[in-house]
Amino acid sequence: MDFKIRVQVLEWSEEFSIKNQNLDEHHKKFMQQISEALELTEYDAEDKPQKLEKLINSVMSSAQEHFKAEETYMQHIGYPFLDKHKTFHREFVSNISMLMMELEDAKNCAQEFYNCLKNWLIDHILVEDKQIESYRNRLYDIKEIPYSLEQRTKILAERVDVENEPKHKYICLCHLKEFQVCDSLHKIMQEEGTFMRCKTCKQPLIYRDLGLDDEDNFEALAKQYFKQF
């Protein structure tokens, strides 16, 4: 099943911020352009190719401005993955440029354009760009996911059916508080050794392994907490 991006779900949130006002404004604009691209996939009038070409040109212009500013910023803060990030930028420009040659088939071109922007939003803006802020806060070294559980789940929901996945119980240091973590996010956290924090107590969410009996549970979970730092 193809899960289309739900623009009303992935509206701008301060959790998406990389703490740079200029770059954040660029990202807000891209989200709006993705919304416009989605609308174009359902647009059937004769001027669809013209509208599509205009939007593609607008995105290209915004991207070039954004990439220049972002690369300058990364260089300024000594971001260690600058070269890798530049490669992502070049790939995006190349992919969008190729779509300009497919305008005659406006229906398929509009869908490909939207899919390209949607994937770029999820993979690049909300993941790769967010790591810039993580680097500044030194979260990268300790593998902290720079989102709340709710926001990271929303991002995953753009690609997988998280509602129907198995759920895993996680806990924090809040009294009697449990979190339901979807299977996709659970696998990411367990396989990559990453974690996220409770918004209330600010402590890591830890998987409550139901295979442990009550006597072992507290000690084992406590050890997992200490392993995070």
pLDDT tens, residue by residue, 149-170: 999 999 999 999 999 999 999 9
| Predicted pLDDT at 214 | 53
**Given a cut of 50, is residue 173 above it in pLDDT?**
yes
Report helix, strand or coil for 195: strand
CA gap 164, 182 in Å, rounded: 9
Residue 38 confidence (pLDDT): 92
Number of neighbouring beta carbons within 10 Å of residue 95:
15
Which of 125, 139, 32, 29 minimizes the C-alpha distance to 85? 125
pLDDT score recorded for residue 189: 94
CB atoms within 10 A of CB 21: 9
H helix or E strand, kind and range, residue 225:
helix 214-227
pLDDT in tens, 10-25: 788 888 998 899 999 9
Q: Which tokens in the block code for residue 136?
A: 């500044």
| Side chain identity at residue 59, one-letter code | V
